Amino acid sequence: MHTAITELLDIEFPILAFSHCRDVVAAVSKAGGFGVLGAVAHSPDQLQIDLDWIEHEIGDRHYGVDLIVPARYAGDEEGGYSIDDIRRLIPGELQAFVDDILRRYEVPERVVDRDAGDERGFGVGRADAAPFSAAAAGPQLDIALAHRATFIANALGPPPQFLIDRVKAEGRLIGALAGKAVHAERHVEAGVDIIIAQGYEAGGHTGEIGSMVLIPEVVDAVAPVPVLGAGGIGRGRQMAAAMALGAEGVWCGSVWLTTDEAETHPVVKEKMLAATSADTIRSRSLTGKHARMLKSSWTEEWDRPDTPDPLGMPLQPILVAEAQRRISRAAHTSGSGAEKLANYFVGQIVGTMTRRRSAAQVVFELVDEFIEATGQLARQLES
């Protein structure tokens, strides 16, 4: 396939795979696509290890790294909060609410093994850095640019200027996600090379405009800068639709969560395989910003009219981090409260993620169905 994206990234298929799992990233790049490692959950040491491993696996093929640095962030005006600063700002009644959820669902305490690794979670770049912050992303960026990552993406708002400048200085490409045409225009004005137009259907942080409307709006707004379609794309027909709307390729995230290589929690993976497209919800309950995830008892608890509203980013991630670790540890017990609470980010495409496949098989099936769909359109034109 030949598009602006395949030319820019030197790949066979214009399929970019966002995943927190290094095995998925490597498998997609080896299959002719372009794997992008989500680094937000990585400590600097773990990111170093995973990028070394990816490069060993893929040889001279290409890959990218995705960071999360929001445009607006609590504490920015004071130079950025530390984790201890954030903990002091969390209201006691919110902590009591989280503790009550764990008590009512009988989620056991977690035995912490201090020698087992970093217990802070959320991929904090410094020991005192807040999650989803420039302070956390700085060390991650240094490591990515010390490796062969050819593309750096910012997944939440416009990339900060330090990120753009560093990436450009190193001769790499930079991309950013956009949920509105005006956001995409700002990205391009700031120097972004590739725009990911992510529709409402997507998993994780997402806006309120559907992909069918958003993609052509963004394409028209930023031409000739290439656009990737994202949100609700997990099959070749959807890939064909996105490219018919003007996208030069697609950015897929959710579809990899049930692949053989994915490190998705086994209980959550089974929930995804059984879910329909109606079984997701946009909730602030994990990060403090609206993010699409599986419905579960966790989202129900936060969505009740008699419960407190989630805090903003970065307070909410710190508030719920230990609770989520306890839930993850205990969710393996069938019928348990932790199993009912367990969930993860995923888009509406989950309704078609009904069988286990390898990541490479997903790539090849996307391409095969894309060819069938475009061939059918060509035949309709001939008739």
The C-alpha atoms of residue 153 and residue 231 are separated, in whole angstroms, by 16
What pLDDT is stored for residue 73 in this prediction? Answer: 52
pLDDT in tens, 1-12: 999 999 999 999
pLDDT in tens, 142-178: 999 999 999 999 987 788 888 899 999 999 999 999 9
- CATH number at 57 reads 3.20.20.70
- Going from the C-alpha of 102 to that of each of 65, 165, 205, 288, 291, the distances in angstroms are 34, 44, 25, 19, 22
| Cβ-based burial of 247 (10 A; exposed 0-12, middle 13-18, buried ≥19) | buried
The C-alpha atoms of residue 11 and residue 61 are separated, in whole angstroms, by 8
Does the pTM surpass 0.85? The reply is: yes
Count of the separate structural domains present in the chain: 1
The C-alpha atoms of residue 156 and residue 71 are separated, in whole angstroms, by 7
What pLDDT is stored for residue 125 in this prediction? Answer: 39
pLDDT in tens, 47-91: 999 999 999 999 999 999 999 876 555 555 555 667 777 888 899
What pLDDT is stored for residue 161 in this prediction? Answer: 86
What pLDDT is stored for residue 129 in this prediction? Answer: 60
The C-alpha atoms of residue 287 and residue 203 are separated, in whole angstroms, by 13
Which residue from 298, 305, 338 is spatially nearest to 319, judged by alpha carbons?
298
What pLDDT is stored for residue 116 in this prediction? Answer: 46
List the domain range (segments joined by +) for residue 358. 4-382
Residues of the chain with pLDDT under 50: 115-127
- How far is CA 300 from its chain centroid? 22
Percent of the chain with pLDDT over 70: 90
Pick left, alpha or beta for residue 121 (phi over 0 → left; psi -120 to 50 → alpha; otherwise beta).
Answer: left
Q: Which helix (H) or strand (E) holds 190?
A: helix 181-190
DSSP summary character for residue 308: P
Residue 72: how many other CB atoms lie within 10 Å: 9
- 3-class DSSP assignment, residue 145: helix
Strands (E), 72-198: 151-154, 173-178, 194-198
In whole numbers, what is the pLDDT of the chain averaged over residues?
91
